[in-house]
Structure formats: C-alpha cells, structure tokens
Chain A
Amino acid sequence: MSMDVIHYGIGRWLHILCGMMWVGLLYYFNFVQVEALKRAAADTPPGTAGIMRHVVPRALAWFRYASLATVALGFYLLAARAPDVLLFRVRAYVPIGIGAWLGLIMFFNVWVLIWPNQKKVLGLVSASDAEKARARRVAFLASRTNVMLSIPMLFFMVASGGMFRASIF
C-alpha cells in the first residue's frame, strides 16, 4: 500500500468519518435536543433530568473528541502544505483554506465557548443560577454559530474536490 493511499485515501476517509460524528451531534443538539428539552421542561413533573444526566454528557463527550480527531486528521491531510493553505499563499488552495478556517473557528467554539459553559450548565463546575443562565446563552449561541458555519464549511470541503477542483485536496 502506497503512502498516498494511506495519507489521502484512509486519512480523508477517517477525517470525514470523525467530521460526521462531530457535525452529526451538533445537528442533534440544535435540530433535536434544544426543542426536546424545552418541551420536556414544560411537562409535569419536568422530564429533563434523564436527558441532562444520561444523554447530554455522553453526547458532549463524543462531540468534542470527534471535533479534536477531525481537526487532527485535517492537519494530517494538509501536512507540509498547512501554512500555504491557512495563509492562502496558493490560489488553488483557497477553497480548502476557507473550509479549514471555518472548521478551526468551529473547533475553537467547541472547546473554548461550548464545553466550559456546558460544564456550568450541567453542574460539573460550581456556578450561581445567574452564571448558569449566562453560560446556557453563550453555549447556545456558540452552538448555533457552529451550525451556521458548518454550511459553508461543508461546501468548501466538498467543493475543493468538486467544482473548485484544482488541487490534490
């Protein structure tokens, strides 16, 4: 098996597999869980406890480590071309550069905005009710921002090998 098959064949496959896990869970949170929690909170008695205790922490763990694996495999794919791609030094790499930057912003949102604030919401770190309410809002907006960014991110990831095809990515 040649190094190219491992690098671009298996590497890309694993990158997309992890990306599906990451963005799939992101869409689960935004398209399913937010509304489900709202409805469960309105039940008598409120039915959110089971979701918050058994579903959310598990989904968040897969979500954030999938984001880590996706970004790590993205850098593995870019390898020595990473500076040219991320600094837009080669015209043919502009689409993948835009996709990579969108992915990196999403990764930042996961680890710096979503996860630390979700820890407060879930009670994994101590926080007052006011801090929890603020944490919930920040995590929500960061998550929604990631849904918004995922749309052009996926376009540029796919377009790099499709309509913009001019580079080996």
Chain B
Amino acid sequence: MKNPLDSLWGTVIAGLLLTALLYALARSAMGG
C-alpha cells in the first residue's frame, strides 16, 4: 500500500480525517 504522505493531497486528506477524529474525541471528552 502506498504511503499517503508521499502525495500532497494524501497528506491533506489524512490531516482532514485526523481533524474529524480528534474533534469527535474532544466532544466526547468534554461531555458531548
């Protein structure tokens, strides 16, 4: 499997997905 970080757009998309994941974690940690 190709490393998404080798592509600039793969890097940006990975960053956006990580943002969504961390947002959900933050919301849950703050009590929804």
Contact = CB atoms under 8 A, between A and B. Distances in A.
B30 interface: yes
B29 interface: yes
Interface residues of B, number: 18
Contacts of B5: 141, 144-145, 148
A143 B22 CA distance: 21
Nearest to B16: A151
Given A91-B31, A147-B12, A148-B11, A164 B19 contact: no
A88 B29 contact: yes
Nearest to A35: B8
Given A88-B29, A94-B30, A151 B15 contact: yes
A48 interface: no
B30 A148 contact: no
Contact of B15 (A88, A141, A147, A164): A147
B27 to A, nearest CB: 9
Given A31-B8, A147-B11, A147-B12, A152 B29 contact: no
B15 to A, nearest CB: 3
A76 to B, nearest CB: 24
Nearest to B31: A91
A86 interface: no
Interface in B1-19: 3, 5-6, 8, 11-12, 14-16, 18-19
B30 A164 contact: yes
A152 B31 contact: no
Contacts of B16: 151
Nearest to A93: B30
A109 interface: no
Interface of A: 30-31, 88, 91-92, 94-95, 98, 141, 144-145, 147-152, 155-156, 164, 166
